[in-house]
Structure 1
Amino acid sequence: MINLLDFFILILASFRLTRLIVFDEITGFIRRPFISEVIREDETGTAETYIEIKGTGLRRWIGKLLSCYWCTGFWCALGVVLSYHCLPASYPLLLVLAIAGGAAVIESKI
């Protein structure tokens, strides 16, 4: 059984890891082979960013996964939980991700 504190640490770590993979510029190299961001102007001149998924087969499937926050979040949560249960040495990394996730939540509310 998992205690309440570790449960919240895993939630926040999963949240931060998901955002890191899906949105952060520092992990763009992970997304680049699978998706590209295209900026287009609409008729009013407003620039809008669109995601285009590259390739076929497995490459396209990974692109779809990386373009979906909910899909990536599931796999990140699975990885976080497996790390917690199977690799106790990963706990400090999970804790750092959780602290960063908590800080991001606080920052977005201020």
Structure 2
Amino acid sequence: MNVLEMFILIFATFRLTRVIVFDEIAEKVRRPFFREVVEVTKNGEKEIFLVPKEKGVLGFFGRMLSCYWCTGFWVAVFCYVAYFLIPVIAEPLLLIFAIAGGAALIETVVQYLLRDNE
């Protein structure tokens, strides 16, 4: 594996992990593994928290999905295996996720720099 391939896998893993753990597009996939807990603040406003289910397979995956590091590990394994076993399919998809991951990191830096200049 060369350096470029390594960076593609790193950025693709970063972006795919963010999609799975945080992005709204994957909310329906995550929902079965969590339960909603409603708490009322001192101001009387309701806040909804998603908490992993407590038992069984759903609880296990809920705990894993609530941990960015855990999900990231398994996404990295998936990306690595897919890259070597089915490169014709994996390479273009991983490249797209890598480009999106790099763009997300650049946007984060730009927003941080703009915030500091205000």
Same fold (TM over 0.5): yes
Percent sequence identity over aligned pairs: 50
- Number of corresponding residues: 109
Q: What root-mean-square deviation, in Å, do the aligned CA atoms of Structure 1 and Structure 2 show?
A: 1.8
Partner of 1:107 in structure 2? 107
Length-normalised TM-score, structure 1:
0.88
Are positions 1:28 and 2:27 aligned together? yes
**Correspondence list, 1:1-110, <5 A:** 2-38=1-37, 40-43=39-42, 50-89=49-88, 90-110=90-110
Give structure 1 stretches of 5+ with no counterpart: none
Q: 1:79 to 1:44 in 2, by over 3 A?
A: same
CA pair 102-42 structure 1, distance change in 2 beyond 3 A = same
Letter of the structure 1 residue corresponding to residue 103 of structure 2? A
Cα drift, residue 84 of structure 1: 0.8
Whole-angstrom CA distance in 2 between matches of 1:47 and 1:81 = 42
Q: TM-score, normalised by structure 2?
A: 0.83
- Structure exhibiting the larger radius of gyration computed from Cα positions: 2
- 2:101 maps to a residue whose letter is G
The structure with the largest helix share of the pair is 2
Q: Tell me how far apart the structure 1 counterparts of residues 49 and 80 of structure 2 sit (CA, whole Å).
A: 32
